[in-house]
Structure 1
C-alpha cells in the first residue's frame, strides 16, 4: 500500500515538473524568437558602411559585436543543447562583409532557436561541466538570453552614438 501511494505521488509530482518544464520551453522559445528578430532589426538599422564603428579602440566594432553574439549562441547551443555543432560556410572566415555578418548572425540565431526547440523538458535539469562550474541546460538557456541581451544593449548604444534611432523594442 505504501509503495502504491508513493509511486502515485511520485508520478503526479513528475508530471507536474514535466508540465512546468514544457511551459518553460514554450515561453523561452517565444522569447527567443522575439529577441532574435529584434537583434536582426538592430543589425539592419546600422548602415553597412558603419559596421566598423566602435566607440573606443579597445571595444569591438558593431560588426564584431554581431559576430560575437552569433559565435556565443552557436557555441552554447552546439556544446550544451544540440546533438550537433553549428556548421555554416561563413563560420570561421576571418574577414566578413556586413552582408555576410548579417547572414551568419541569422543562421546562428536560427541554430540556437532550433537547439532550444529540440530540448526535451526532461533534460532541462541535466547538468553539464562548464568553465564557470556545473550548469543545467536550463541555466545554459538563461545564459544564452542574458549574453545575447547584454551585447544587443551595446549595439543599441552604437546606433545612438551614430545618430540612429533604434528599432522599437518589444519584449516577450
Structure 2
C-alpha cells in the first residue's frame, strides 16, 4: 500500500513538473512571437514616410496612423483582459485614433512601442497556470489565454491591413519575419 502511495505521489509530481514545463514552453514561444512582431511592426512604421502617416488608400478607411493607433489600443485592451495587468493611462484614452496630436509619426511609434512593451511585460509576469481561467468582457467569456491570443491576432490583422497602404503609396512592405533570423 505504501509503495502505491509513493508511486502515485511521484507520478503526480512528475505530471505537475511536465505541465509547468509545457506552460513555460508556451510562454516562451508567445514572448518570442511578440518580440518578433514588435520588430516587424516597427519596420512597417519606418517604411512609411513621416509625412504620409495621414495617407489612406480610399476615403472609407482609416489613415495609416489611425490603423496603427487602433492596433495599439486594441492590443493593450485584449492583453489586459488576458493578463489582468493595469493598462498605462496614456494609451487607455477613448478615441485616441481621432486625436490629431496622436497621429504624427513620432506619436504613433511611441504608442505602438508602448503597446508591444505592455504586451511583452504583462505576458512575462503572467502566471501560465491561470491560462484557462475565464474572464467576461462585455458579451464575451473567454479564457485568459484566448484573450492573449486574440490580442496577437488583432495586431497581426491590422499590421497586415497596412500592407495595402504601403503598396498603394508606392512603397515596398518589409519582408515577412515569420521565423527569427
Q: Which of 44, 66, 69 is residue 68 of structure 2 equivalent to?
A: 66
Q: State TM-score, norm by structure 1.
A: 0.89
> What's the TM-score once normalised by structure 2's chain length?
0.85
Aligned residues, how many? 171
Show the counterpart of 2:34: 32
Q: Please tell me whether residue 81 in structure 1 is matched to residue 80 in structure 2.
A: no
Query: Do 2:81 and 2:144's aligned partners in 1 also have CA atoms closer than 8 Å?
Result: no
Q: String of CA shifts for 1:20-43, please: whole Å, max 9, x gaps.
A: 110000011011100011001101
Deviation at 1:155, TM superposition (A): 0.8
1:119 aligns with 2:121: no
Q: Gaps (5+ residues) in structure 1?
A: none
Q: Deviations over 1:2-29 (max 9, x none)?
A: 5554443333222211111100000110
Alpha-carbon separation, structure 2, partners of 1:99 and 1:83: 26
- Relative distance call for 1:12 and 1:131 in structure 2 (3 A) is farther
Unaligned runs of 5+ in 2: none
Cα displacement string for residues 126-156 of structure 1 (whole angstroms, at most 9, x for unaligned residues): 2211345321221122111111111111111
Between 34-43 and 120-129, report the one with greater CA deviation.
120-129
Correspondence for 2:161? 154
Structure 1 residues 108 and 64: alpha-carbon distance in aligned structure 2, compared to 1, 3 A threshold = same
